């Protein structure tokens, strides 16, 4: 059975009321573009902050399936987006592998212990999606029930390189020089760790698919700090393994390798369905390489949402036209920033929803 046939069956079984995202990925000529925003759950919504304030913090919220379900659905209610993305974090896999982290307010993630040696890597386990990250799997099941087919649910994972960089650095970084140093100074240990992370991701994503997600997005947020050659050896090859392992899952995969514009040709040959584009990539250039082989997703500069609404409207329509008649899922070129005015986000979403596509 082809991927799209099994996808259609899954969709039919479920009777999605809004299947615009799935139909776009499949290549249907839809009358308008689907729209959602990376990091739409949390960050911008006052309703999210209200729920979060009732918990002991981000990680408590994350591990509470009922609350994770609630904040996943908030942007669907409040913004009218065409997809929900499950409320979780890319770092849950690190913890499931035995490396815990704290989410420090205003600072972000901090790992009390980091990986520096082969012995450290050997102490990590390969995570099992259901046993080790059961709270997100449970949240997915609850969310599917609560959405009741209103919109598709997107599951996600970080890519191996991005998770590796947090496990080595222990926190965010401007240069990721410690993680890059590991690649140059200890390539074998690096490959050992990247493989363990990759195996964990495959287990986790399979569990998400089993629980009912309709689409999976793989975030390689820090792809752009690597040289093209490092990217191929230490990032792309592992992302490829994941796409290959999920090929028969019947669920479309999106790969978002931020900053890896140099790898677009290779990315467009992956066993995946959609390529996420950041805002630095010229649209005609990306479409020229990807063609209509895959859907593209993106790529408005998140900072554009600070502009006035007339400009947001104009630029959003320009983006849709720039990507032409091929498959396109409207999104930003990275996650929405926390201080973005909500009315501007709504203007972005409404513009897409009111803009009819005329196929030539
Ligand atoms: O897209 C969504 O809304 C779903 C939920 C989601 C979160 N994190 C919730 C979150 C997703 C998809 C992520 C992915 C994620 N997490 C990435 C990849 C995407 C990207 O933006 O590049 C990365 C690099 C992380 C790691 C991470 N988590 C950082 C650096 C931080 C701190 C800064 C911040 O706010 O993003 C987090 C915390 C985090 N993850 C929050 C949320 C809602 C904020 C926590 C809070 O409420 O205090």
Tell me which residues have their CB closer than 6 angstroms to ligand 1.
38-43, 52, 58, 85, 87-91, 103, 108-109, 156, 172, 219, 221, 334-335
Dig out the tokens for 91 from the structure. Answer: 């770092």
**Catalytic, out of 23, 52, 150, 309:** 52
Question: Which is it for strands 215-220 and 102-104: parallel, antiparallel or unpaired?
Answer: unpaired
Neighbours of 66 (CB within 10 A): 10
Per-residue pLDDT of 156-211, as tens digits, reads: 999 999 999 999 999 999 999 999 999 999 999 999 999 999 999 999 999 999 99
Active site residue 283: no
Band (15; pLDDT cuts 50, 70, 90): confident
Band (289; pLDDT cuts 50, 70, 90): very high
Mean pLDDT score of the chain: 96
Q: Can you tell me the distance from the alpha carbon of 47 to that of 297, in angstroms, rounded to the nearest whole number?
A: 27
Per-residue pLDDT of 247-260, as tens digits, reads: 999 999 999 999 99
Per-residue pLDDT of 335-358, as tens digits, reads: 999 999 999 999 999 999 999 999
Question: 74 and 41 in contact (C-beta within 8 Å)?
Answer: yes
Per-residue pLDDT of 39-54, as tens digits, reads: 999 889 999 999 999 9
Q: What is the pLDDT, as a whole number, of residue 5?
A: 56
The H or E element containing residue 135 is helix 134-147
Active site residue 89: yes
Helix axes 160-169, 177-185, angle to 10 degrees: 100
**Catalytic, out of 10, 23, 32, 39:** 39
Question: 310 and 318 in contact (C-beta within 8 Å)?
Answer: no
Question: 141 and 213 in contact (C-beta within 8 Å)?
Answer: no
Sole residue written with tokens 């140059």: 184
Per-residue pLDDT of 206-245, as tens digits, reads: 999 999 999 999 999 999 999 999 999 999 999 999 999 9
Mean pLDDT calculated for residue range 134-155 = 98
Residues 6 or more apart from 254 whose CB is under 8 A from it? 215, 216, 217, 218, 272, 273, 274, 275, 276, 297
Output the CA 73–ligand 1 centroid distance in Å.
Answer: 16
pLDDT at residue 10 above 80? no
Residue 250: C-alpha distances to residues 18, 90, 162, 215 (Å): 19, 22, 25, 9
């Amino acid at each position: 059975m082809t991927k799209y046939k099994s996808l259609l069956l899954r969709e039919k079984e479920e009777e999605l009321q809004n299947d615009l995202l799935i139909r776009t990925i499949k290549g249907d000529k839809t009358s308008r573009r689907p729209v959602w925003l990376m990091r739409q759950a949390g960050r911008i919504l006052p309703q999210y902050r209200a729920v979060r304030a009732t918990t002991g913090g981000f990680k408590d919220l994350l591990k509470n399936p009922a609350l994770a379900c609630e904040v996943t659905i908030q942007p669907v209610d409040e913004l009218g987006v065409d997809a929900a993305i499950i409320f979780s974090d890319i770092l849950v896999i690190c913890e499931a592998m035995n490396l815990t982290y704290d989410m420090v307010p205003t600072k972000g993630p901090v790992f009390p212990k980091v990986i520096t040696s082969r012995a450290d890597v050997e102490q990590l386990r390969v995570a099992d999606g259901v046993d080790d990250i059961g709270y997100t799997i449970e949240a997915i099941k609850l969310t599917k029930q609560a959405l009741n087919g209103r919109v598709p649910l997107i599951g996600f994972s970080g890519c191996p390189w991005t998770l590796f960089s947090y496990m080595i650095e222990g926190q965010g970084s401007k240069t990721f020089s410690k993680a890059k140093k590991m690649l140059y100074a200890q390539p074998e240990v690096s490959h050992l760790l990247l493989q363990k992370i990759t195996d964990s991701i495959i287990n986790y994503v399979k569990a998400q698919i089993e629980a009912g997600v309709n689409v999976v997005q793989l975030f390689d947020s820090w792809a752009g700090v690597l040289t093209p050659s490092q990217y191929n050896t230490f990032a792309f090859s592992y992302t490829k393994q994941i796409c290959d392992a999920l090929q028969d899952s019947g669920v479309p995969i999106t790969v978002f390798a931020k900053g890896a514009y140099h790898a677009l040709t290779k990315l467009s040959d992956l066993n995946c369905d959609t390529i996420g584009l950041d805002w630095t990539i010229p649209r005609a250039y990306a479409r020229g390489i990807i063609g209509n082989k895959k859907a593209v997703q993106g790529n408005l500069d998140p900072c554009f949402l600070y502009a006035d609404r007339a400009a947001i409207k104009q630029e959003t329509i320009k983006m849709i036209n720039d990507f032409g008649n091929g498959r396109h899922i409207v999104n930003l070129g990275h996650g929405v920033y926390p201080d973005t005015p909500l009315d501007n986000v709504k203007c972005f979403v409404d513009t897409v929803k009111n803009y009819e596509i005329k196929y030539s």
